[in-house]
Structure 1
Amino acid sequence: TANREHYAPLRRLVGPYILRRLKTDKLIISDLPDKTEMKVFCGLSPEQAKLYQHTVKTLKQELTATTGIQRKGLVLSYLMRFKQICNHPDQLTGGGEYAAKHSAKFQRLAELGSQIESRGEKVLIFTQFREMTEPLADCLAAIFGRSGLVLHGGTPIKQRQQMVEHFQREDGPPFFILSLKAGGTGLNLTAANHVVHFDRWWNPAIENQATDRAFRIGQQRNVLVHKFITRGTLEEKIDRMIADKQSTADQILAGGAEKSLTELNNDELLDLIRLDLSHADTTP
């Protein structure tokens, strides 16, 4: 394609100096099982859709009166709010109940958890939000009929290794909820052959490191990676940007810089975050 031809000179330049080793290359690690990544598209509950649209309207109003560094802070704050709404409206409002019926992601996680439980398998769930770890654990405990493990930045270092050993045992807990920053590196969790990214980090390398807690030497089963994405929202549009960025990285062996979201003009930003009702499933 034209895009590949565009990077051809750079590949020729760096090629003699770079040996790229991938765990998926059977010449490098012959006994590692397969990894399958899939995007799990979720709709929006009516509560989520209403709150999302209200937040878009509020941001549009505030953008007209904000400039410079204050505008950047405003945009970052609202991007976080939209991600919270996509997880569960209670995460933004502080409602605290986290009823599954109010979040399409929670409902989809319950369905997936039921399938995993029926097979007697284990799952890792990553979220970038510490406050989401306990609600997710409560949701899955009801599905598996037993409690799992939760690890976040507040978990003592000594306790973390004990939790890993507990999870790795055959009779250990069936699920492990981890905050992405605290649990995304350095842990060996090959007892799980399912990995769920409940909310997306905007750097594919960070997500891949988290996935590698399960997809690593010692894993005996094929690994399934489930990436949750809310249709018609900022999440779906960011996912397209991640895919484009990853494609570029795969071609030139570096993460090409994308335009900073805070530097988008107002029209571009509002187009990015607006709710596409024609694409979002908002059925109760």
Structure 2
Amino acid sequence: MNPHLLANIACGEDNQKEFSEPSLISLKLDLSVSINTIEVLPKNGVLNLRSFPLLNNIPWVKVLPDLEPKINTECWKFPTPQEGSTDFVNSKISTDKSSEPDTQELVELVLEKSLTRVKPLKDMFQFKERLMYLLQPPIEEVFTGKEVTLPFKPFPYQIKGIAFLMPRKSALIADEMGLGKTIQVIISIRLLFRSGLLKNVLIVCPKPLVINWTRELKLWAPDLPVEVICGNTEERKVSWNVSNTPVKLVNYELLTRDVIEGVAGNNFYDLMVIDEAQRIKTKESKTAQAVCSVQRDRSWAMTGTPIENRHDDLIHIFEFVDPGRVPKDTPPKMLASLTSESIIRRTKEEAAPDMPAKIIQDVFLDLTPAQRQAYDLAENEGVVHLNKLGDTATVQHVFELVMRLKQICNFDPRTGASSKAEQLLADMEEVQATNSKAIVFSQWVKPLEELASQLKAYNPLMYHGKIPSQQRQGILDKFKKDPDAHVILMSYGTGSVGLNLQFTNYVFLFDRWWNPAIEDQAINRAHRLGQKSTVFVKRFISQKTIEERIAEVLDAKRKLFADIIDNSGLPSSLGLNEEEIFNLFNCSPRKKIAA
């Protein structure tokens, strides 16, 4: 006879209803509870007790004059203790063969154990919090119903990351670059909102990533309104202090300025998330002080490089994640024991069984102010020139304008400013920290030369058409064998054909080629048979520019072709034709004269 601890769980008048599908449960209970473990003998749940200290003055437990309370057990009950468990008094293991589960029950038990549940933390003492997490269905089941729909199914390791984040008020997700930290955080936020545990969230990220966060939030949490804090001082003051948008997004620079100037106010947030948390590794910096000064209940940090140079980096990040938990003079050997409960980190190798061979991510970036000024001027002048040419305009005229605009998207011709270079530098920190290697592709040699000067810390190698043929193999050998050579800069023309760089994990397309087939050839330098790890590809696209328009046309053509002829490769004609090039500027090609 197995002992059980039975309890009645009721929520208002709907306590007798059955759940038709997995559902997130929100409980708002204020209970003072003491629980005594008891052995229940009769199956009908009727107990004869001299006293009943389980719950006091609760509406759904009726204490009769003879102190014989009846407890309804049909809604839910705590699970049977596992073998060897000491959680229950007088627990015994039954040897009765008739009580063993049949084959179907065993199959269901295995399936149940393979699902991911949110587990209450060891230091979570409040009954209502533990109960809320115990009652949640497995995360996988939440996504199979109609309540929470997702554009794509998360990988199993991402499900585990979500289960890790949800119950924690202090968390650092430190997965390696490319494993989808942003997706895990957004889904966790969405589920916590639906559970009633969050009402307002502040997300802080580097300026180049604001656009990407906006897009990811729209994709993975379309039901959550999002406001980007930007504009002049008065506009930002309204966003900070008047707007009640549930999710607010701000870059580090604006947050720091607005906290120092008092524009941000003294608002309280249920959750604050900081992306690229290494930005606050210097405790004395204005950025770190501004971030840590924001009042909040939950603190989540994201970084692929929690320790870049010294163990102090992690200590300073924990000043935000869990203030006071890690003393500033903590020796390195003590860090793990103090922080392990709040950190989750997976490497590419650990996640590899769950992942496809290649993951491609479009990274949308805003131009820097200098780039935007140069771009708008060049585009306006170019369109005026095309209009003046009228019917005499050729595809070559349009092509020249496109090339000029694409080059400005890479670097501002006057100041050298580049939002793409800023993002690449941030990504290369993670590449180096994980002892990985990366390929950077561009159409032109000039931006590669500019990048080489900015990436000196990563010992860049150059591989393009200007390199003499007899030197090229030596460059490739050095890239493969030199552990300090973390990046090779390649032009599409020389790097897209005939090379085998399967020891490379990361590929960055600094600018897009006209034809996706050429891009695929470039990516396949790293993604080839024999590649043991997933290849992560980032395609940089400047938002609200010719690059975004070209990407939309090429992606539409790629999708159309895939729908018609699947798994047949890409045709050579998948690039832009003459009419599509003219349409980039709402122009029409000149009419051909009939013979």
Instruction: Please say whether Structure 1 and Structure 2 have the same fold, judged by a TM-score greater than 0.5.
Output: yes
For this pair of structures, how many residues does the alignment match? 228
Distance 2:581 2:480 in 1: 45
Q: Of residues 97, 100, 114 in structure 1, which corresponds to 2:429?
A: 114
* Residues 125 and 177, structure 1, Cα contact 8 Å, conserved in 2: yes
> Does structure 2 retain, via aligned residues, the 8 Å contact 1:126–1:199?
yes
8 Å CA contact 1:42–1:228 kept in 2: the answer is yes
- Residues 12-65 of structure 1 deviation map (CA, whole Å, 9 limit, x = unaligned): xxxxxxxxxxxxxxxxxxxx9711010111111011111111112101221232
2:552 pairs with 1:268: no
Residue 84 (structure 1) shift? 0.5
Q: Deviations over 1:181-222 (max 9, x none)?
A: 011111111221000000000211100000011111232211
Distance 1:202 1:169, change over 3 A: same
CA 1:60–1:70 in 2, change beyond 3 Å: closer, same or farther? closer
1:65 aligns to what? 388
RMSD of aligned Cα (Å): 2.3
The equivalent of 2:438 in structure 1 is: 123
Q: CA 1:105–1:267 in structure 2 vs 1: closer, same or farther (change >3 Å)?
A: closer
- Please tell me whether the aligned partners of residues 452 and 460 of structure 2 are also in contact (alpha carbons under 8 angstroms): yes
- Give the whole-Å Cα distance in 1 for the aligned partners of 2:585 and 2:526: 41
- Aligned letter for 1:79? V
Whether the 8 Å CA contact 1:197–1:228 is kept in 2: the answer is yes
Q: Could you tell me which runs of 5 or more consecutive residues in structure 2 were left unpaired when the two chains were aligned.
A: 1-354, 589-595
In structure 2, relative to structure 1, the CA distance for the partners of 1:57 and 1:118 (3 Å cut) is same
Counterpart position of 2:449: 134
Residues 1:193 and 2:505 are matched in the alignment: yes
Closer, same or farther in 2 for the Cα pair 1:179/1:259, shift >3 Å?
closer
The 5 A counterparts of 1:192-211 are 192-211=504-523
TM-score if structure 2 supplies the norm length?
0.36
* Alpha-carbon contact 2:439-2:489 (below 8 Å) kept: yes
Separation in 2, partners of 1:108, 1:137: 15
The 3-state SS of whatever aligns with 2:536 is: strand
1:164–1:187: 8 Å Cα contact kept in structure 2?
no
2:386–2:393 contact (8 Å) kept in structure 1: no
Query: Would you say the 8 A contact 1:167–1:191 is kept in 2?
Result: no
Contact persistence 2:502–2:528 (CA under 8 A)? yes
- Counterparts of 2:454 and 2:560 in 1: how far apart (Å)? 37
Q: 1:68 Cα shift?
A: 4.9
Structure 1 residue 73 displacement after superposition? 2.2
Deviation at residue 136 of structure 1 after TM alignment? 1.1
How far the C-alpha of 1:80 sits from its partner, in A, is: 0.3
Q: Hey, which of these two has a bigger chunk of helix by percent?
A: 1
- Specify which structure has the bigger relative contact order, considering alpha-carbon pairs within 8 angstroms and separated by 6 or more residues: 1
Distance 2:369 2:526 in 1: 35
Query: Partners in 1 of 2:523 and 2:447 — Cα distance?
Result: 19
Corresponding position of 2:464: 152
Map 1:11-26 → 2, pairs under 5 A: none
- With over 3 angstroms needed to count, the CA separation of the structure-2 counterparts of 1:261 and 1:176, relative to structure 1, is farther
Which residue does the alignment assign to 1:212? 524
Q: CA deviation at 1:265?
A: 6.1
Distance 1:267 1:113, change over 3 A: closer
Number of the residue aligned with 1:39: 362
The 3-state SS of whatever aligns with 2:363 is: strand
Say yes or no: does 1:181 pair with 2:181.
no
The amino acid across from 2:437 in the alignment is K
Q: What letter corresponds to residue 548 of structure 2 in structure 1?
A: E
Q: Who is 1:171 aligned against?
A: 483
Q: Report deviation, 1:69.
A: 5.8
Q: Which residue of 2 aligns with 1:82?
A: 405
- State percent identity of aligned pairs: 32
Question: What SS does the aligned partner of 2:440 have?
Answer: strand
Distance 1:187 1:267 in 2: 37
Give deviations 1:151-207, integer Å, cap 9, x for gaps. 111111121111111111152511000011011111111221000000000211100
State the one-letter code of the partner of 1:81: R
The runs of 5 or more residues in structure 1 that have no matched partner are: 1-31, 271-284
1:40/1:50 CA distance change after superposition, 3 Å: same
Q: How far 1:224 moved relative to its partner?
A: 0.2
- Measure the CA separation in 2 of the matches of 1:49 and 1:239: 19
User: How far, CA to CA, are the matches of 2:535 and 2:359 in structure 1?
Assistant: 6
Over 3 Å counting, the alpha-carbon distance change for 1:264 and 1:171 in structure 2 is closer
Q: Which residue of 2 aligns with 1:104?
A: 419
Structure whose alpha-carbon radius of gyration is higher: 2
**8 Å CA contact retained: 2:406, 2:547:** yes
* Partner Cα distance (1:158, 1:109) in 2: 30
Amino acid corresponding to residue 174 of structure 1 in structure 2: H
Matched with 1:235 is 547
Equivalent residue letter for 2:382: L
